[in-house]
């Protein structure tokens, strides 16, 4: 995988809910040659059915459609839905772990969330295809984001999807892709970089991105993360960044779909506050986004959580962006979220007393989650 930035891209931040799923449907409906959809969760619900129906319609007009879903997280997808996709001509299969049951899992998981159409348009983020990421009556969508790209980086993403579908390793020499990107008159020519993590394939590109950010940031680091449990190395780097005067802000969930993870996360609050991090908990619903901004000029966004499951156990995909205007606009959105929808956690409001029963439960959760992450690919079934 090249570490270079790919020029000639027009990008847009897409939000969870109707913004995201309307974008997916528009991409699928306008595709003429190929569609690659790879996701952790493909839900057998209202939202999943909508997307599957769009894909079926595309296959019926002779678009080559490939759908790869994680065999563990998407195991509730009914045989009826699978058969409907295959009968329509969709190339569908599961990415299978080494061992799985209804309650246990062992092996890599396909955690990235990506759709690429015609090797020209792509959407990369943290959103799965399921109702909880969508706006439904009386139920707001979980907070998440994705990056829509019209440009040359989509051709690179197309190749990644193609090779993962075919279970092939990237070769040094490739034949030109017949659907390769052709430049248009896009007004913006933003440089974007693809980053992947796959421990089995010895790819630690997203981990290196975060390492670079924590080492080189001069003024500020803003992290928005659903399951923020940095390992020892990342904690050391963040501590050093704070010591050299970098303003570090972390926006996390207040309501979590994995309660034990939230307990473990809160165990680290005392350490973060001691090193002068600004901590915020998002209030309206579950926060599921995964992104970071450095010095208002660099952004990384995708499926990677800052914890050891993303580092060692999952296939992850992020996009890095260097563009002051775009990153600054995203920074302003985060500022608004912090101001209007978050509660600050400070030394005075953090109520967990040292050596208290609550502290003991948080410490126990932290140790349990750390042990599970040390095993890396073995854990009890959870929603995400």
Mean pLDDT value across residues 333-356: 83
Is there a domain that residue 335 lies in?
yes
pLDDT surpasses 60 at 200: yes
Is there a domain that residue 291 lies in?
yes
Is there a domain that residue 289 lies in?
yes
Is there a domain that residue 68 lies in?
yes
Q: What span, in angstroms and rounded, lies between the C-alpha atoms of 223 and 202?
A: 25
Is there a domain that residue 182 lies in?
no
Considering the domain architecture, whether residues 365 and 217 belong to the same structural domain is answered as: yes
Considering the domain architecture, whether residues 246 and 161 belong to the same structural domain is answered as: no
What value does the CA radius of gyration of the chain take, rounded to a whole number of Å? 20
Two tokens, residue 47: 């939202």
What lies within 8 Å, CB to CB, of 310 at 6+ separation is: 111, 197, 206, 303, 304, 316
Confidence band (pLDDT; 50, 70, 90) for 201? Answer: confident
User: Looking at residue 72, what is its pLDDT?
Assistant: 83
Q: Is the dihedral of CA 221, 13, 284, 226 positive or negative?
A: negative
Confidence band (pLDDT; 50, 70, 90) for 379? Answer: very low
Considering the domain architecture, whether residues 155 and 210 belong to the same structural domain is answered as: no
Q: Provide the number of structural domains found in the chain.
A: 2
User: Looking at residue 365, what is its pLDDT?
Assistant: 57
User: Looking at residue 382, what is its pLDDT?
Assistant: 38
- Residue 283 has phi, psi (to 5 degrees) of -100, -40
Is there a domain that residue 174 lies in?
no
Is there a domain that residue 372 lies in?
yes
User: Looking at residue 182, what is its pLDDT?
Assistant: 46
CATH number at residue 296: 3.30.870.10
Mean pLDDT value across residues 202-225: 96
Which of 219-233, 251-265, 367-381 shows the lowest mean pLDDT across its residues?
367-381
Considering the domain architecture, whether residues 161 and 267 belong to the same structural domain is answered as: no
Residue 46 belongs to what domain range? 6-169+188-195
User: Looking at residue 250, what is its pLDDT?
Assistant: 98
> In Å, what is the CA distance from 124 to each residue of 173, 243, 265, 322, 323?
26, 33, 26, 16, 17
User: Looking at residue 262, what is its pLDDT?
Assistant: 78
Considering the domain architecture, whether residues 263 and 141 belong to the same structural domain is answered as: no
Considering the domain architecture, whether residues 244 and 119 belong to the same structural domain is answered as: no
Residue in this structure with the two tokens 């992450």, named with its chain if needed = 373
pLDDT surpasses 90 at 180: no
User: Looking at residue 188, what is its pLDDT?
Assistant: 59
Q: Of the ranges 101-115, 324-338, 341-355, which is most confident?
A: 324-338
Which of 135-144, 214-223, 361-370 shows the lowest mean pLDDT across its residues?
361-370
pLDDT tens for 158-172 read: 999 999 998 865 444
Q: What span, in angstroms and rounded, lies between the C-alpha atoms of 260 and 266?
A: 10
Considering the domain architecture, whether residues 18 and 136 belong to the same structural domain is answered as: yes
The proportion of the chain whose per-residue pLDDT surpasses 70, expressed as a percent, equals 82
User: Looking at residue 384, what is its pLDDT?
Assistant: 39
* DSSP-assigned letters across all residues of 28-51: HHH-SSEEEEEES-B-SSHHHHHH
The residues that bridge with 210 in the sheet, in sequence order, are: none
Dihedral angle computed from the Cα positions of residues 362, 366, 372 and 376, in that order, rounded to the nearest 10 degrees: 150
Considering the domain architecture, whether residues 244 and 126 belong to the same structural domain is answered as: no
To the nearest whole number, what is the mean pLDDT of the chain? 86
Contact 370, 268 (CB under 8 A): no
Domain boundary (133, 160, 195) is at 195
pLDDT tens for 237-277 read: 999 999 999 999 999 999 888 777 777 888 889 899 999 99
Considering the domain architecture, whether residues 118 and 224 belong to the same structural domain is answered as: no
Contact 86, 126 (CB under 8 A): no
pLDDT tens for 45-88 read: 999 999 999 999 999 999 999 999 998 889 899 999 999 999 99
Mean pLDDT value across residues 201-210: 92
């Amino acid at each position: 995988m090249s570490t270079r930035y790919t020029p000639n891209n027009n990008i847009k931040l897409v939000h969870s809910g109707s913004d995201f799923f309307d974008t997916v449907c528009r991409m699928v409906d306008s595709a003429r040659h190929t569609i690659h959809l790879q996701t952790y969760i493909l839900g057998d619900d209202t939202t999943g059915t909508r997307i599957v129906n769009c894909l079926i319609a595309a296959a019926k007009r002779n678009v080559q459609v490939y759908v790869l879903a994680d065999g563990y997280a998407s195991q509730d997808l009914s045989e009826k839905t699978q058969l409907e996709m295959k009968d329509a001509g969709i190339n569908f299969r599961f990415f299978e772990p080494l061992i799985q049951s209804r309650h246990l899992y062992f092996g890599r998981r396909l955690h990235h969330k990506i759709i690429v159409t015609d090797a020209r348009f792509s959407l990369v983020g943290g959103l799965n295809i399921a109702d909880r990421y969508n706006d439904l009556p009386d139920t707001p969508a979980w907070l998440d984001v994705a990056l829509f790209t019209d440009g040359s980086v989509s051709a690179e993403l197309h190749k990644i999807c193609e090779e993962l579908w075919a279970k092939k390793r990237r070769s040094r020499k490739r034949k030109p892709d017949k659907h390769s990107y052709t430049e248009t008159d896009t007004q913006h020519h933003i440089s974007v970089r693809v980053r992947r993590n796959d421990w089995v394939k010895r790819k630690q590109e997203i981990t290196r991105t975060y390492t670079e950010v924590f080492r080189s940031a001069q003024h500020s680091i803003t992290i928005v993360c659903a399951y923020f449990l940095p390992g020892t190395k990342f904690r050391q780097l963040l501590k050093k960044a704070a010591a050299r005067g970098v303003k570090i802000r972390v926006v996390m969930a207040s309501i979590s779909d994995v309660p034990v993870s939230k307990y473990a996360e809160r165990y680290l609050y005392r350490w973060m506050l001691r090193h002068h991090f600004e901590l915020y908990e998002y209030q309206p619903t579950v926060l599921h986004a995964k992104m970071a901004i450095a010095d208002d000029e660099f952004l990384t966004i995708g499926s990677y959580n800052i914890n050891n499951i993303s580092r060692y156990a999952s296939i992850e995909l992020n996009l890095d962006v260097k563009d002051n205007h775009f990153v600054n606009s995203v920074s302003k959105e985060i500022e608004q979220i912090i101001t209007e929808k978050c509660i600050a956690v400070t030394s005075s409001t953090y109520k967990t007393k040292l050596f208290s029963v609550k502290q003991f439960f948080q410490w126990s959760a932290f140790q349990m989650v750390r042990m599970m992450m040390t095993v890396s690919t073995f854990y009890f079934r959870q929603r995400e």
